[in-house]
Structure 1
Amino acid sequence: MQKAPTPKAPRPVPQRVMLQPADLGGAVPGPVEDGFAWPLLPQPCADTPVPRPAAGHSQAADYGDRFRVYENVARYRGDGARSYLAELKAQLDRCGVGGGGDGFHPVAVDHLGPDMALFAGNYDEGDRYVGYFVAAAGHYVVVVVMSDARLGAPDMTVLNDLGSAAIRRAGSARR
């Protein structure tokens, strides 16, 4: 009797796809600390699932003396990355908050091209937030999250620049 073939384990996301020290002002990324409260693959509507990736990789780094940057790159099969972005944007429309409460607040959608969103994760009744840049690049979804230890409000322009670098890295990689 012949054994059924064992399914292949998903290939990990290669390190070259991730933001590098040159992108992060010289900071060397490391692991995401235990207890990080924000999702690295956002799902604004808690009761509605989003497409799940085949593999993912996360890292974190200090950016200057004010910001902490988190990155998650998820690899999808087929058209899964674009499907995730379509669902994310629909959930931001349906379940996002208007800026005065806890949850997600859309800032810009498709502002640098298709399949991307810039939004805030609000907390402390909307007085503090983290910034999110999420985009599909080929088979990858890149998520860059920025927090600000001093003011509780990240620099969305810097976040947008880091997100653009993340798209270039993921877009230049082969599956």
Structure 2
Amino acid sequence: MRRALLVVLAGGLLLPVAACDNAKKSTAAPAVSVAPQPSLPPLPDYSVDTQQHCAQLQAVYSGELRDFGTAMGKLVSLREAKQTADAEKAETDAAGKLKAAGAKVRQDTATARDPDFQAAGETSAAKFEQSATDRKYFDRVKTLTDLNNTLQPQMAQWLTPVSSFCQSAS
């Protein structure tokens, strides 16, 4: 019995070795080693420039957008007082303030060194100008409660393209 067990073990150990010896020899050429490619130059760092442009955009928040909020408050007050003619003038004024905010965003981001930040500024500016033109936002705001509930989310939507850069540049 021991002899049979030894034969099985020996056969099990020798079989893989024999299989390796019987394998066909490869005639393929040895692999050519390729010299590593030189690394790509580092990406430009736009953080300081972007931070400076974001600081310029703060003037939009405290200037044009504050003026827009004030104009919207006036518009809503006139609508609630049912002063339609004055409300229409106030809506035109608010749309002008919104368009001015878009123009300021475009101006402040146009000279940025980061092309992605420039594109984000263009996108934000276009959003402001589109809302000033189509006035769908103005139609949704009929009361001060509407204004309070919609203004902050709407501002975020308009500013999202540039605000993501300004948050990361801080």
Larger Rg: 2
| TM-score, normalising length: structure 2 | 0.21
Report which of the two has the higher share of helix. Answer: 2
Report which of the two has the higher share of strand. Answer: 1
Greater relative contact order: 1 or 2 (C-alpha under 8 angstroms, separation 6 or more)?
Answer: 2
| TM-score, normalising length: structure 1 | 0.21
